[in-house]
Structure 1
Amino acid sequence: MESSFSYNVMSYPTKFFLQTHPDRLASIAAWFGMEPPTVGKCRFLELGCGNGSNLVSHAFNLPDAEFVGVDLSEKHIRHAKESAQELNLLNLKFYELDVMKMTVEEFGKFDYIIAHGLFSWIPSFVREKVLSLYREMLTPNGVGYISYNAYPGAHLRDMLRNMMRFYTQNISEPMEKVGNAISFLSFLAENTSATKTYQPILRDELMRHSRHDATAIFHDDLADNYQPFYFHEFASQLEKNGLQFLSEAELQAMSINSFSPEARNFLDSFDDPVQREQYRDFLSGRVFRQTLFCHREITLNRQVEHSVLNKFLLSSPIRPQSDKPELAANKVEKFVGTTGTGFEIDHSLTKAALLHLGKIWGQAISFPELLQAAKRMLEEQGLTDENWETRFNEAGAIFFQICFNTSIIELHLHHPQYNAEISDMPEVNRLSRWQLRYSDLVTTLFNKYMKIDDPVSRRLLELLDGTHNRAELSAQISEFIETNIEQENKREMLDNLPNWLDESLFKLARTGMFVS
């Protein structure tokens, strides 16, 4: 593996990987016909856990599950142990250990095993060991996750990586190395004579690096050990270890809807999922994969029908673009997610179901219950139907496509209990306050990011420690706005403070972030 010294000198940045949550892994496994281990009581292992931030988030919200993290860096593990102790996470253990020394006899078996940002950055003999650990340590119905850089898209990054490494080959100090690498990339982007294809590639990579921490660039782009894979190569390594491809960690990453009709027909001609996925990568130029897999003996269902939705709880922040959406048939309404992307629907029952799903955001609901709620909504508006079963089937087919082709609706097998009430002295959970120390992202009880990127919202979360009533919160936020010289639109914010505070507390409550 890459020397632990580099990670002790420059720690990898704090990250929370929502796509590695056991509920996500279990839900996708169930989509393809598996009976995955119970999320709330699972055993979960992360190889290369870094400073433990990912596992801390999972362990806090799943107190009856058991989590184990292993990393080679003493600095990472020291931070991880301190975090677990501070949050009193008795269900979480960390070990400073080389994976080459891990055995199933010492650690036992796990229901879910993940390795994020590890596989492409370790020597081949360590990769072989990692895959053998999955083979030996995964329970019979367990799910594995490995992320890695993928060809053909990674060829472009290889080119830039090799240039930056060549330019900085005589620089050893990490921050100086990163700074010089980015400066050189910027120089190339502005001064190349090849402007039609080469310059846009350089500028895109420069933009990508501008969004990353220096520590991530140092370890991801300038590391000594680095090896992307074609998907078929990775699948072959799985097969050699008695494992098989299950899915990507995001269902929409397997969708072919964005391709031309000719490309879709071409991809549909392959029954073998490995071949289909490989050709999909060729068509999309995929750079990065987050692959799920299981034991080879498991029989998977690749012919998934919309009845699969009955297995799940659904949640979504989806909302209609219109302030007054019309639910009548043949009236097209656009629904959008938090990023503004969305789709148009004219099916009455589906529109009502999406409307209800967005209204209860923060909660999860079974698909049959969702359809019944939508039916009641339509009937209350005088929109009846003589054949509700047909409408239910039609809505199921539409929801199936939405769930597979977009990320707007989340599927769950685990439904956490939470407090939706706003107490007289509201208190945000300790995890959220802990996360704010290291990031502007906090994770909700429903495994979603909430971005706290403005100083007023951050100050509110700091004050929500259970010692302030609403009047005190309002007074302190008002004082903060008045005295914060960097705050723009002060008068407007102060005038709107009562509404803003109500909306903020409501949003926190319905995403399960208050202490019960």
Structure 2
Amino acid sequence: MQTSYDEIPYMGRVHAQTHPQRLAIIAKLFNFPAPKIETARILELGCGDGSNLLNIAYQLPQSTCIGIDASSLHIERGQGMIEAAKLSNAKLVAENLTSIDESWGTFDYIICHGVFSWVPIEVQQKIFSICKNLLSETGIAYISYNTYPGWHMYNMFRGMMQYHAGKMEHTEDKIAQAKAILQFTTLHTLDSSSPYGQFLGNNIEFMSRLTDEYLFHEYLETNNHPLYFNQFVEQAAQHSLQYLGDTEFHTMTPLNYPEETKATLEAISPSIFELEQYMDFLRCRRFRCSLLIRDHHELKREVPLDPFLDLRFRFRAFAQSLIDIEPTERPEQPLSDEEHDIETTLHAISINDANIEDQDLTAADVDLYKSALELLNDCYPQSLHFSEIIAQCSTTLSRVIEQEEQIDLCKLFQSLFIKNLIHLELIAPTFVTEISERPILNPLARYQLTYQAVVNSALHDMILVSDPWLQQLGQRLTGEHTLPELIETLKELQDQEILETPFETPPEDPDKELLVLLKKALQIFADHGALIG
């Protein structure tokens, strides 16, 4: 049975918050014994072309990954990726998720991203039922969904677009007219300075940047059912499931609010569920990624320091999720939500960002903290285990780092994590940051470049490769070609007029200039975890 996703397929994407590692870390912080991710059985409901699931399978070769999607076109693309990456631990099924029963076995992690709000209510109940019946004893389910109060505002856009675009017969006309009605309404509202006019003006740029496939499936499909967080938790409870946490941990705590706000939130929130619902009101939150476990487990909601002693740490790069790689220099300009300059800028994290309370910092404390932060900065995008940080700081400072100092450093990392300034990892992703003579782009990314401009990375992030020059280059990074051979191939593609020259004016030494651009492009692939050799 053909679906709207066969007519307008979704671009394959990875979603960092869905990785079993992220789920297991949230569990670890609450002292919940999540299954070992390296050997886990993982199910993704509505897996699309498998970009997300197959990237997990590639990173966790001892795991078993099964995905299901109703679009045969999505699954066909995914099968191509499985063959290209020679994955023996992944399987994709072209069926409706309602066909899943207990014969599928149990799973340690169930992922359901971008599905729950966009299916009929009875299918939502089936998703809960799958989680109830197929989760292993300490398994974790991830479900993302549109939420109120934020979606009350975006329902207004959805209503406008559906009313006007619904008069069109063809899909491409529906998409074009959905954009047109938003532009018309924004430009011709009677009072652009009114709250309504300002809301339209503030959001039209965001809406206009949406890709056609995203706009269609998010705003023009029949089903889109947002709900409040407390309603989601209540529905999960009806299926013997309880809320574990959110994959964006910093959204679970009021510590980032002013003292007066925190005091009021704590006074009116007897439970974590009420606290998070009130914070959703304050943020006007419109999207959530919730984790569920079986309801008979008892949870400790305090987050101790102990877990941080056994984790890896990586700076958060304050680039957007989609990093636009260009082979040529561009003039300075403001960054949009979907692009970033050649050099990814790291947020300059200082000790003050942590707001360490109840600490009188000595000169030795400051030296240790600075040394640790410099280590993370220097090794980015790689991560370091806490023990490695202690060992390297000890070498740098030429002294033993005492136990009490290690605890204080843990507090620093805990605070930076709560402020969403660093990532936590259980295992180190496999990629290289140095350019080899015969560079290799990960095979999933190479295959993705044959049909789209977004590719996977070992950091479980997306890289937007919008330039045709780089798209052609990426497909040829198999490890079989040296840098001079790659340059000759690119020149041949220019001669065949498949590619345009990357130079505005012919350089004196084209090979030399091409080599400069080639190394720059390869380094950016490497800096974002896409090169494996």
TM exceeding 0.5: yes
Q: Secondary structure at the match of 2:350?
A: strand
2:414 is equivalent to residue 400 of structure 1: yes
Instruction: Give the Å deviation of 1:456.
Output: 5.0
Instruction: Give the Å deviation of 1:96.
Output: 2.2
Specify the alignment match of 1:80 in structure 2.
78
Give, in whole Å, the separation in 1 of the partners of 2:349 and 2:395: 24
Question: In 2, are the aligned partners of 1:318 and 1:355 still within 8 Å (CA)?
Answer: no
Specify the alignment match of 1:344 in structure 2.
350
Give, in whole Å, the separation in 1 of the partners of 2:146 and 2:348: 28
Give, in whole Å, the separation in 2 of the partners of 1:378 and 1:496: 42
2:399 is equivalent to residue 373 of structure 1: no
Instruction: Give the Å deviation of 1:369.
Output: 2.0
Specify the alignment match of 2:322 in structure 1.
none
Q: Which amino acid aligns with 2:104?
A: F
2:300 is equivalent to residue 301 of structure 1: yes
Instruction: Give the Å deviation of 1:199.
Output: 1.6
Structure 1 residue runs without a partner (length 5+): 320-336
Distance change in 2, residues 1:264/1:440 (3 Å):
farther
Give, in whole Å, the separation in 1 of the partners of 2:266 and 2:516: 51
Q: Which amino acid aligns with 2:286?
A: V
TM-score by length of 2: 0.83
Specify the alignment match of 2:39 in structure 1.
41
Match of 1:111 among 108, 111, 118: 108
Question: In 1, are the aligned partners of 2:81 and 2:448 still within 8 Å (CA)?
Answer: no
Distance change in 2, residues 1:425/1:51 (3 Å):
closer
Q: Which amino acid aligns with 1:10?
A: I
2:447 is equivalent to residue 434 of structure 1: yes
Give, in whole Å, the separation in 2 of the partners of 1:247 and 1:230: 15
Instruction: Give the Å deviation of 1:159.
Output: 1.3
Specify the alignment match of 2:275 in structure 1.
276
Give the length in aligned residue pairs.
490
Question: In 2, are the aligned partners of 1:361 and 1:511 still within 8 Å (CA)?
Answer: no
Q: Which amino acid aligns with 1:394?
A: D
Q: Secondary structure at the match of 1:55?
A: helix
Work out the percentage of aligned pairs sharing the same amino acid.
Answer: 30
Give, in whole Å, the separation in 2 of the partners of 1:338 and 1:504: 13
Distance change in 2, residues 1:262/1:438 (3 Å):
farther
Question: In 2, are the aligned partners of 1:14 and 1:51 still within 8 Å (CA)?
Answer: yes
Distance change in 2, residues 1:10/1:446 (3 Å):
closer
Instruction: Give the Å deviation of 1:299.
Output: 2.5
Give, in whole Å, the separation in 2 of the partners of 1:489 and 1:420: 31
Specify the alignment match of 1:127 in structure 2.
124
Q: Which amino acid aligns with 1:204?
A: N
Once the two structures are superposed, residues 473-499 of structure 1 have per-residue CA deviations (whole angstroms, 9 ceiling, x without a partner) of 456668889973464587599777666
Match of 1:149 among 146, 151, 159: 146
Give, in whole Å, the separation in 2 of the partners of 1:254 and 1:275: 11
Instruction: Give the Å deviation of 1:276.
Output: 0.6
Structure 2 residue runs without a partner (length 5+): 319-342, 353-365
Give, in whole Å, the separation in 2 of the partners of 1:55 and 1:182: 32
2:479 is equivalent to residue 466 of structure 1: yes
Question: In 1, are the aligned partners of 2:81 and 2:444 still within 8 Å (CA)?
Answer: no
Distance change in 2, residues 1:496/1:297 (3 Å):
farther
Give, in whole Å, the separation in 1 of the partners of 2:75 and 2:473: 31
Specify the alignment match of 1:330 in structure 2.
none
Give, in whole Å, the separation in 2 of the partners of 1:150 and 1:493: 56
Question: In 2, are the aligned partners of 1:37 and 1:142 still within 8 Å (CA)?
Answer: yes
Distance change in 2, residues 1:153/1:313 (3 Å):
same
Match of 1:244 among 229, 242, 245: 242
TM-score by length of 1: 0.86
Instruction: Give the Å deviation of 1:175.
Output: 1.3
Question: In 1, are the aligned partners of 2:28 and 2:34 still within 8 Å (CA)?
Answer: yes
Question: In 1, are the aligned partners of 2:80 and 2:447 still within 8 Å (CA)?
Answer: no
Root-mean-square deviation over aligned CA pairs: 3.0
Give, in whole Å, the separation in 2 of the partners of 1:250 and 1:29: 13
What are the within-5 Å matches in structure 2 for residues 27-106 of structure 1?
A: 27-104=25-102, 106=103
Question: In 2, are the aligned partners of 1:120 and 1:228 still within 8 Å (CA)?
Answer: yes
Question: In 2, are the aligned partners of 1:144 and 1:293 still within 8 Å (CA)?
Answer: yes
Specify the alignment match of 2:338 in structure 1.
none
Question: In 2, are the aligned partners of 1:29 and 1:36 still within 8 Å (CA)?
Answer: yes
Distance change in 2, residues 1:80/1:199 (3 Å):
same
What are the within-5 Å matches in structure 2 for residues 253-292 of structure 1?
A: 253-269=251-267, 270-292=269-291
Instruction: Give the Å deviation of 1:161.
Output: 0.9
2:204 is equivalent to residue 185 of structure 1: no
Once the two structures are superposed, residues 443-496 of structure 1 have per-residue CA deviations (whole angstroms, 9 ceiling, x without a partner) of 322323344344554454344222322333456668889973464587599777
Question: In 2, are the aligned partners of 1:420 and 1:514 still within 8 Å (CA)?
Answer: yes
Distance change in 2, residues 1:317/1:221 (3 Å):
closer
| Greater relative contact order (Cα < 8 A, sep 6+) | 2
